[in-house]
Chain A
Amino acid sequence: MATIRCDIVSAEKEIFHGDVQLVVATGELGELGIAPRHAPLITRLKPGQVRVTMEGGEEQSFYVSGGILEVQPQVVTVLADTAIRAKDLDESAARKAKEDAERLLANRTDAIEVAEAQVQLAQAIAQLQALERLRQNLKH
C-alpha cells in the first residue's frame, strides 16, 4: 500500500517522523483523514489527537494543543503548538507583557538583593582585572 511521509514537530521538540498510510487530525472544520496523494491543503488544528497509521497497520496517537497541518503531495507536516492557544489567552499574555514594561518604567524592580550581590562580584572581578593589568605594567 502507498505511504506518505509524515512529520510531527513542536517548537520545543520533534514528536514523530516516518512513513504512514493515514493521518487523522482534528482540523478547524472537522476531522480530517489524510491518505497518500491527497490534494495540497493547509489548515489550523484544534486541540485534540493526531493519529497516524503506520505501514503494518500499527496506530500511534499524539495529543496536540492546536497547530497547523500542511499537506503536500509527498509529505504531511504537523506543526504542533506546545501551549493551549486562544485569542483571549494570547491577548492576556500581550497585556501582561505591556504591564511588565509599564511597571519597569515605573521603576519598581524585584530581586534587588541579588542584583546588589552581582554588582559586588562584578566589582571584585574588575578589581582583579585592574590588578592584573598593574602587574603586567610593573613587569615591563
Chain B
Amino acid sequence: MAGAREIRTKIKSVQNTRKVTRALEMVSASKIRKAQDLMKASRPYARLMRQVIGHVARANTEFKHPFLIERKEIKRVGYLVVSTDRGLCGGLNSNLFRRILAEIRDWQTKGVEVDVVTIGNKANAFFKRLKVNLIGSVAQLGEKPQVAQLIGVIKVMLDSYSDGRIDRLSLAYNDFINTMSQKPTLDVLLPLPPSDELATTHDWDYIYEPGADVVLEHVLTRYVESLVYQATLENLASEHAARMVAMKSASDNASKAIETLNLIYNKARQAAITQEISEIVSGAAAV
C-alpha cells in the first residue's frame, strides 16, 4: 500500500492548495466591488478637472505653460508605471511590462534614455533588474489608495519634466474594462496631448489670482495627479478581477487533479488488494 499512501498525501496537498485558491478567489470577488465604487467616486473630479482644463486651454491665456508645449527634440523619456503590490493575478503585470518593455527598447535603439517611476511592488521588482533609470517608487498603497500617497512619485516626474531632464512623460496601467478583461494601456501625460476640448476658440480670459503662471501650474499639476490617481484605481480593480479569474481556474484545475488522483488512488488500492488475495490463495494452494 506504499504507493497508495503517497497518492493520498498528494491528494491532501492539492486539497489544501484548492482551499487557498478558493479563499483568494472569494476575497477578490468582494474586493472588486469596493474597487469599482472607488473608481466611480473619483470620476466627478476627473470630469470637472477636464472641463476646467478645457476652459483654461480655450481662454486666451497670455501665458503658455511648458506642460502644454510639445518639445521638438526628445532626448529622454519618463514612464510612470502602475502595477499591483501582490502577485497571483495571472498575466496582468507581465502583459503590461511586456508592452512597456517594447516601447523602452524602441526608445533605446533611437538613443533616447528612459527614466522610470514605479507604483506597486511588482513594478519595483521588475524595473530594478532592468537597465533603466529608476528614479522614484512607492508601494503598499493598500485597498484604498489616496492621492496623498502618490504625490511624491508624481512630483519627481513633473520636476524632471519642468527642469527639462525628460521631454515626454507616459503613464502605464491596466485599464479595467470588465471582470473578464483588462487592457494594458500606455497614455502620454506630458506634454498634454491636444484634443477637441483644448482647441482655442474663445477670446476671453480669466481673472487669475494670484497670477496666470502660478494658477496654471497648480491646475495642471492637479490634473496630472488626478489622471495618475484614476489609473491607480483602474489598476486596482483590474488586479482583483484578474486575481479572481486566475484563482477560479486554479481551483477548477485543483478539483480536476483531485478527481484524477482519486481514480489513481482507487486503482492502486484495488491492485494491492488483488495482489494480497492472490498471494493468500497461492499460499494456501502450496500447503
In the bound complex, do residue B88 and residue A125 qualify as a contact, i.e. CB atoms below 8 Å apart?
Answer: yes
- The total of interchain contacts (Cβ-Cβ below 8 angstroms) comes to 164
Contact partner, B49, options A13, A79, A107, A118, Cβ 8 Å: A79
In the bound complex, do residue A11 and residue B147 qualify as a contact, i.e. CB atoms below 8 Å apart?
Answer: yes
In the bound complex, do residue A128 and residue B136 qualify as a contact, i.e. CB atoms below 8 Å apart?
Answer: no
In the bound complex, do residue B55 and residue A70 qualify as a contact, i.e. CB atoms below 8 Å apart?
Answer: yes
In the bound complex, do residue B226 and residue A94 qualify as a contact, i.e. CB atoms below 8 Å apart?
Answer: no
**Chain B CB within 8 A of A27 CB:** yes
User: A101 vs B80: C-alpha distance in the bound complex, in angstroms?
Assistant: 13
**Chain A CB within 8 A of B86 CB:** yes
**Chain B CB within 8 A of A51 CB:** no
**Chain A CB within 8 A of B253 CB:** yes
How many chain B residues touch the partner (CB < 8 A)?
Answer: 61
In the bound complex, do residue B209 and residue A27 qualify as a contact, i.e. CB atoms below 8 Å apart?
Answer: yes
User: A90 vs B128: C-alpha distance in the bound complex, in angstroms?
Assistant: 25
**Chain A CB within 8 A of B159 CB:** yes
Closest to B260 in A: A135
In the bound complex, do residue A83 and residue B257 qualify as a contact, i.e. CB atoms below 8 Å apart?
Answer: no
Contact partner, B147, options A9, A82, A128, Cβ 8 Å: A82
What's the minimum C-beta distance from A122 to chain B, rounded to whole angstroms?
A: 6
In the bound complex, do residue B257 and residue A132 qualify as a contact, i.e. CB atoms below 8 Å apart?
Answer: yes
The interface stretch among B28-36, B65-73, B178-186, B210-218 is B210-218
Given the complex, which residues of A lie within 8 Å of B250, measured CB to CB?
A: 125, 128-129
In the bound complex, do residue B88 and residue A98 qualify as a contact, i.e. CB atoms below 8 Å apart?
Answer: no
What's the minimum C-beta distance from B184 to chain A, rounded to whole angstroms?
A: 21
Given the complex, which residues of B lie within 8 Å of A68, measured CB to CB?
A: 52, 215, 218-219, 222
In the bound complex, do residue A125 and residue B17 qualify as a contact, i.e. CB atoms below 8 Å apart?
Answer: yes
Interface residues on A, range: 35 or more
Closest to B214 in A: A44
Contact A118 to B86, CB < 8 A, known contacts A68-B52, A135-B260: yes
**Chain A CB within 8 A of B139 CB:** yes
Listed in ascending order, the chain B residues whose CB lies under 8 Å from chain A are 13-14, 17, 20-21, 38, 41-42, 44-45, 48-49, 51-52, 55-56, 59, 86-88, 117-118, 124, 128, 134-139, 146-148, 151-153, 155-156, 159, 204-210, 214-215, 218-219, 222, 225-226, 229, 246, 250, 253-254, 256-257, 260
* A27-B209, A40-B59 known, 17 other contacts, Cβ within 8 Å: A12-B42, A14-B45, A40-B206, A42-B219, A43-B215, A44-B209, A77-B51, A77-B52, A81-B222, A83-B147, A93-B151, A98-B152, A100-B137, A101-B135, A125-B246, A128-B254, A129-B250
A-B pairs, top 6 by smallest CB distance, nearest first, are A93-B152, A97-B152, A83-B148, A43-B209, A97-B136, A94-B155
- The 29 listed contacts between A and B (C-beta, < 8 Å) are A11-B147, A29-B210, A40-B55, A40-B205, A40-B206, A41-B209, A42-B215, A67-B222, A68-B52, A77-B48, A77-B52, A79-B45, A81-B147, A83-B147, A85-B151, A93-B152, A94-B151, A97-B152, A101-B117, A104-B128, A121-B17, A121-B21, A124-B13, A125-B21, A125-B88, A128-B17, A128-B254, A131-B260, A135-B256
